[in-house]
Amino acid sequence: MARLALLSVSDKTGLIEFAQSLVALEFEIISSGGTAQALKQAGIPVMKVSDYTGSPEILGGRVKTLHPRIHGGILARLDQPQDVADLEANQIRPIALVVVNLYPFEQTIAKPDVTLAAAIEQIDIGGPAMLRASAKNFAHLTVLCHPSQYPAYLTELRENGEASLAFRQACALRAFEHTAAYDRAISGYLRQVGAQPAANSPTDSHPGAGIDANVDANPDANINANINANTNANPALPAQYSLEGSQLQALRYGENPHQPAAWYQTGAVPSGWAAAQKLQGKELSYNNLVDLEAARRIIAEFRSQPAAVIIKHTNPCGVALGDQIEQAYTKAFAADPVSAFGGIVALNQPIDAATASQLTQTFLECVVAPGCAPDAAELLRAKSKVRVLVLPDLISGPAQLVKQIAGGFLVQQADDQLTDPNQWQVVTQKQPTPTQLAELLFAWKVCKHVKSNAIVVTQDQTTCGVGAGQMNRVGSVKIALEQAGEKTQGAVLASDGFFPFDDSVRTAATAGIAAIVQPGGSLRDADSIKAADELGIVMVLTGVRHFMH
């Protein structure tokens, strides 16, 4: 008897050619819905699932394959006499191949005008059931969930007569990964639209729902180990957190050549850097992508006036605003031309010819902007190795940030709220001028994205000195002031954390700093404020800290 294949796919890429090959290899095909129609129109012999099961499709197509003749044929263990007997008694044929991919849920929710009702209808039920059943029973059949698997399966058949056990097991793994990603997309969407279960629902109280569910398996053991019990859950974050991605690109290496690395895309629809258009240049590296994201986070702070950012090792070496994008870039470059060599540049406006001409004057790793004029692109080709990317949306970023630690990971909301200077408090006798206040705001926005301990000195809405990642704030102050040099005269200084002593305030004033912005919150704030008053400089407290580790 011919082998039986069940084909039910939303993505019909390569379907007809694959089905023709199956028929040539003496398979019989059963199918449902649009897949059956497509096969029939191509002249491929196919039996509708409803004819095979003897049960019609019901509920507008919601129920098609949920039937014992389908799932019995998938789940039967052909080396178990009782299973074989059950098949014979119920006139069920074993199914040798299941080819299923799921309703396009992620593509649907990516549409800007999608309704909840429309999204719900794209939640596949029969498809995941068949994939999971087939994957569970990989010892006896093959499951395929992506068109890219078709050629390898046909090669297995032509060379061996059937798919090897190793091949079937690899396909089963991919099927479970596919359904897991699908479920995570659904739960993520429902969470986003506010449809998650109440905190005290049976789902949340189930012993397996928590991140440390293994501790609950034996309530008398390790009772103190469950430091993240559901009762201590942060309501601002989900009780369970999953991060799913598909490998978009293998990278040459990670931070260093001995570290393998890859780039993963979240979601079925490319977004963020996965949606960027690369106009020219070499392949992006791991470090390029990390630096590009750091540049994006800073440039997202500036949404009206032309802005340019130059990044080295995730820290800004030059940030500036200008009347035109060319001016913003030349100011940012002049802030630290030595460090800018080999840097990553982000612009918040499209690249024009004048800016492109400036960009070609030095070696850069990457340039990203929301657009690029044709004449600018032509000029940039003179530097063929520089990676030039167009990303129209430089504003949108991840809502949560994830960092792995041994035995788990940490999740926090992104520090992406725009600064509101109306919430600031001027605590010195001397008040800032409107120009100083604008400069303090610029410095504070940049300082937010510098590795802590962070100090940023700016003037004319351009960075002059940056002290990043030092073990103490005094060291960061010293580095930033030394780098700024004579530009400290009349400049402003931003600190991502409070000053526990007044020494840095006095050092800054001696160098010529005219105004300081810092979060405040130290037990010794009064000492720093008193020093600022004695020295005749402005001090503003934001009430918000921006540590970045």
Domain ranges of the chain: 3-192, 273-415, 421-541
d(CA 9, CA 130): 12
Question: How confident is the model at residue 121, as a pLDDT?
Answer: 85
- What pLDDT is stored for residue 331 in this prediction? 98
Instruction: Give the burial class of 279: count Cβ atoms within 10 A of its Cβ; 0-12 exposed, 13-18 middle, 19 or more buried.
Output: middle
Q: What pLDDT does 215 receive?
A: 28
Sign of the dihedral through C-alpha 515, 438, 526, 524: negative
* Residue range 68-110, pLDDT digits in tens: 888 888 999 988 899 889 888 888 899 999 999 888 888 888 8
Query: Which DSSP symbol is given to 545?
Result: -
Distance CA 148, CA 247 (A): 14
pLDDT given for residue 234 in this prediction: 77
Of 293 and 400, more confident: 293
Residue-averaged pLDDT of the chain: 88
The mean per-residue pLDDT over the stretch 415-440 comes to 94
- 225: tokens are 């180990």
The CATH number assigned to the domain with range 273-415 reads: 3.40.140.20
Q: Which CATH class is domain 3-192?
A: alpha beta
Average pLDDT over residues 514-537: 95
515 vs 52 pLDDT, higher one: 515
Could you check whether 273-415 and 421-541 share the same CATH topology?
A: yes
Confidence (pLDDT) at 233: 66
Residue 219's pLDDT is: 30
Which segments of 70-149 are extended strands (E)? 97-101, 142-144
pLDDT in tens, 119-137: 888 888 888 998 999 999 9
Which is catalytic among the residues 136, 278, 430, 530?
136
CA atoms of 389 and 412, how far apart (whole Å)? 29
Question: Is 313 one of the annotated active-site residues of the chain?
Answer: yes
Nearest Cα residue to 69 out of 48, 46, 52? 52
Cβ atoms < 10 Å from Cβ of 516? 25
Report DSSP state, residue 422: G
Residue 236 pLDDT exceeds 90? no
**Each residue's pLDDT tens digit, 246-290:** 889 999 999 999 999 999 998 778 889 999 999 999 999 999 999
- Note if 136 is an active site residue: yes
- What local confidence, expressed as pLDDT, does residue 232 receive? 57
The residue annotated as part of the active site, out of 282, 313, 430, 530, is 313
CATH match of 421-541 with 3.40.140.20: yes
Q: What's the pLDDT band for 51 if we cut at 50, 70, 90?
A: confident
Residue 163: CB atoms within 10 A of its CB come to 23
Q: Which residue has the higher pLDDT, 213 or 392?
A: 392
Structure confidence at residue 220 as a pLDDT band (50, 70, 90): very low
Per-residue buried b or exposed e for 524-543, using 16+ beta carbons within 10 Å of the residue's own CB: ebebbbebbeebebbbbbbe
Element (H, E) at 116: helix 116-121
